[in-house]
Structure 1
Amino acid sequence: MKKMKYILNGFLALAMILLFAQCSNNQSTPSQTATPTAVGGSTNMKIAYVEIDSLLTKYRFWNDLNELMIQKEENIRTTLNEKAKELDREMREFQRKLENNGFATRERAEQENLRLSQKQRDLQQLQEKLAADLQTENQKNSLQLRDSINSFLKIYNKTKGYSLIISNTGFDNLLYADTAYNITQEIVEGLNARYNPSSAKK
């Protein structure tokens, strides 16, 4: 189950990279935050970047979603462990009775064996279902995160006028960038200012 959290973090980091590539093409009133960059000698582009890892760490909405998912993972793990222990106890009891001729008839022993086999299959199906449900919820959370940031950036860029806002995840995209173009903290503060904690619990 723990792997699911790391998979989600990786997925969201990738989603964020795509997000910033898609939703930051609005041009508006120039801002004094960063100096426009000349491209090709004729077009002025105003560019900024956001550090995705830092954003995910500081964005309270994402932290609250993470906490909820960790709790759900723990609940699932507890449920499955309890059912697995119960099944193990019943199987050991079945084996003990079988070895000590504790069943009245052979048919009764076969019926109990079939029941336990079905219970084992049911447990496996439950595990698969809960894992699939968790993955679906992770995907829903990633869309919520993307929509939240996308919505904010559209408002934010009306006054900032960036031509391009790109993401920086380690060395995946930017090998070098002047920190003057780093707007991560601005974005985090803006997102947190409009965040309503009850939205993460829906």
Structure 2
Amino acid sequence: MKSIQSILLWIVAAAVAVLYVLHFSGKKPKETTGGVVKKDSADAKEQHIRVAYIDLDTIQKYYEFFKLKNDDIEREKSRYDNQIQSELNKLERDRIEFLKKGQAITQVEAEKFQQEYQTRYQQIGQRQQTLQGQHLENQAKAIDDIQKRINEYLKEYNQTGKYHFIFSTQEGNPTLYYKDTAFNITNEVVKGLNEKYKQSKKQ
């Protein structure tokens, strides 16, 4: 479900902006009137930003709740497509059946059928738009649900303040252009997410 990526990218962009500010807005040493440089005790302490990342492709592949939602959305899309195709097939069969009458068709009958055919075709088109709208709405709800669960778990996972920032990355659209795999916490996160999901099913 690619749209997870677009949601996370906004969060990542905000995090990058914060990192930029932290890096370039450090406090300068204070000078006394005699030109002697003084440092605050807080300034003297070296600040280390602790960063980790999660791989979205891995989460999509192994997070059970994600796979469940994705399968539901795919089945729904297939059901909607089959429904529209079935209506179009019936319309085509009716057209062929009508044409079998050949020269026995009067002009009045031909005009009436043509009008009915266009009306039914337009109705199918409207029905298709309605189903597509429902599908997109359900897809958005599924994405929101997945994103909420990931965010809630990451807050729980990081309760000790182990990391200041947790970024995301994905094949073909990397948020991080260099990744030290020592800071890859995806497997831990996927394991925790699946455990939380199993617990939620028991409730």
Within 5 Å, give how 1:118-129 maps onto structure 2. 118-129=119-130
Specify the SS of the correspondent of 1:100: helix
Q: Which amino acid aligns with 1:10?
A: K
Specify the SS of the correspondent of 1:195: helix
Q: Structure 1, unaligned stretches of length 5 or more? A: 1-8, 24-38
Q: CA deviation at 1:108?
A: 3.9
Q: CA deviation at 1:110?
A: 2.5
**Given that residues 19 and 150 in structure 1 are in contact (C-alpha distance below 8 angstroms), is that contact kept between their aligned partners in structure 2?**
no
**Given that residues 49 and 183 in structure 1 are in contact (C-alpha distance below 8 angstroms), is that contact kept between their aligned partners in structure 2?**
yes
Specify the SS of the correspondent of 1:45: coil
Q: CA deviation at 1:64?
A: 0.4
Q: CA deviation at 1:10?
A: 2.4
Aligned to 2:180: 178
Aligned to 1:79: 83
Q: Higher Cα Rg: structure 1 or 2?
A: 2
Within 5 Å, give how 1:137-148 maps onto structure 2. 137-148=138-149
For residues 150-193 of structure 1, the C-alpha deviation after alignment (integer angstroms, 9 at most, x for no partner) is: 11111111125310111121362222222111100010011000
Cα 1:150–1:198 change in 2 (3 A) is closer
Tell me, in whole angstroms, the C-alpha distance in 1 between the residues paired with 2:184 and 2:124.
50
**Given that residues 51 and 184 in structure 1 are in contact (C-alpha distance below 8 angstroms), is that contact kept between their aligned partners in structure 2?**
yes
**What is the TM-score of this pair, normalised by structure 2?**
0.76
Pairing 1:101–2:101 present: no
Tell me, in whole angstroms, the C-alpha distance in 2 between the residues paired with 1:120 and 1:194.
48
After superposition, the CA RMSD in angstroms is 2.5
**Given that residues 19 and 146 in structure 1 are in contact (C-alpha distance below 8 angstroms), is that contact kept between their aligned partners in structure 2?**
no
Tell me, in whole angstroms, the C-alpha distance in 2 between the residues paired with 1:164 and 1:198.
27
Specify the SS of the correspondent of 2:158: helix
Percent identity reads 25
**What is the TM-score of this pair, normalised by structure 1?**
0.76
Aligned to 1:115: 116
Aligned to 1:28: none
Q: Structure 2, unaligned stretches of length 5 or more? A: 16-22, 27-44
